Structure 1
Amino acid sequence: MREFLVRITTTVPEGTPPEEVAARRAAEAEHAEELAAAGHLWRLWRPEGERRSSVGIWCADDEAELHAKVLDTLPLRPWMTVTVTPLAPHPSDPGRADGSP
């Protein structure tokens, strides 16, 4: 699987009933747990001072799968702006899988 840096900004459309927002947010949290258990969501942060944004490390076989089978399944996806950056290994990464210095 490949790693991707994903930045998401969620904008709830004006006039959306609060109960719909609450239901989608609850479903989003539940689905995020499922995606984490399946190995697609590795880490997730909220940039300081940005309530509507998140930055995370997501994983999929390729970018097409990331969109079709992962990000597009999020309950809040219709309200999201998503930026995906594919990541490549860095030779100085202290967490390299081969264990070399």
Structure 2
Amino acid sequence: MREFLVEITTTVPEGTSRDEVDRRRAAETVRSRELAAAGHLGRLWRPVGERRSIGVWRADDEEQLHEKVLGTLPLHAWMTFAVTPLEPHPNDPGGAV
């Protein structure tokens, strides 16, 4: 699988009920755990004081990432994504054996 740096910004549409937001966020938690268990979600961070997320995601290609991974998130309709494909750097200390 390839790795992708994904920045996600979620904007809840005005007029959306608190119950709907809570329901979708709870479902998002469950789906994120499923994607992590399947190896698609590697790490996820939230910059201090911001409502966006930055994560390392894995998929066979960008099409799979959008359609079968990010597209399955319950908040997907409220999200915008900035995707950067990654490749190993020869000086990455995490790649050393």
TM-score (normalised: structure 1): 0.94
3-state SS of the aligned residue for 2:94?
Answer: coil
Match of 1:20 in 2: 20
Match of 2:11 in 1: 11
Deviation per residue, 1:68-98 (Å, 9 max, x gap)? 10000000000001110000110000011x6
Match of 2:84 in 1: 85
Which 5+ residue runs of structure 1 have no aligned equivalent?
none
3-state SS of the aligned residue for 1:31?
Answer: helix
C-alpha distance in structure 1 between counterparts of 2:48 and 2:84, whole Å? 20
Q: Determine if the alignment matches structure 1 residue 32 to structure 2 residue 32.
A: yes
TM-score (normalised: structure 2): 0.98
Identical amino acids, percent of aligned pairs: 69
C-alpha distance in structure 1 between counterparts of 2:71 and 2:44, whole Å? 17
C-alpha distance in structure 1 between counterparts of 2:36 and 2:80, whole Å? 21
Which 5+ residue runs of structure 2 have no aligned equivalent?
none
C-alpha distance in structure 2 between counterparts of 1:47 and 1:9, whole Å? 11
3-state SS of the aligned residue for 1:64?
Answer: helix
Deviation per residue, 1:38-96 (Å, 9 max, x gap)? 0000000001110x200000000000000010000000000001110000110000011
Q: C-alpha displacement at 1:18, in angstroms?
A: 0.6
- Larger helix fraction of residues: 2
The Cα RMSD (Å) is 0.7
- Over 6 Å off, 4+ runs: none
